[in-house]
Amino acid sequence: MTDRPQNPQHAQQQQWPGSFLKMEPKPDHGEADYQGSGRLKGKTAIITGGDSGIGRAVAIAYAREGADVVISYLDEHDDAKDTAQWVEKAGQKAVLIAGDITNAEHCRNIVAKTVEQFGKIDIVVNNAAYQMTRESLDEISDDEFDRTMKTNLYAMFYICKAAVPHMPAGGSIINTASVNADQPKPKLIAYSATKAAIINFSGSLAALLAEKGIRSNAVAPGPIWTPLIPATMPPEQVESFGSEVPLERMGQPAELASSYVMLASDEASYISGATIAVTGGVAVI
Largest CA distance in the chain: 51
Give every CB contact of residue 146 below 8 A, 6+ residues apart in sequence. none
Of the candidates 153, 140, 146, the residue with the CA atom closest to the CA atom of residue 232: 140
Contact 50, 69 (CB under 8 A): yes
| Dist. CA 184–CA 186, nearest whole Å | 6
Long-range contacts at 108-114 (CB < 8 A, ≥ 24 apart):
108/158, 108/162, 110/46, 110/48, 110/70, 110/72, 110/159, 110/162, 111/46, 111/159, 111/162, 111/163, 111/166, 112/162, 113/70, 114/44, 114/46, 114/70, 114/163, 114/166
**191 noted as active-site residue:** yes
How many angstroms from the chain centroid is the CA of residue 132?
17
Point out the catalytic residue in the list 154, 158, 191, 260. Answer: 191
Helices (H), the chain: 53-64, 77-89, 104-118, 142-149, 155-163, 189-208, 228-232, 235-239, 254-264
Catalytic residues: 191
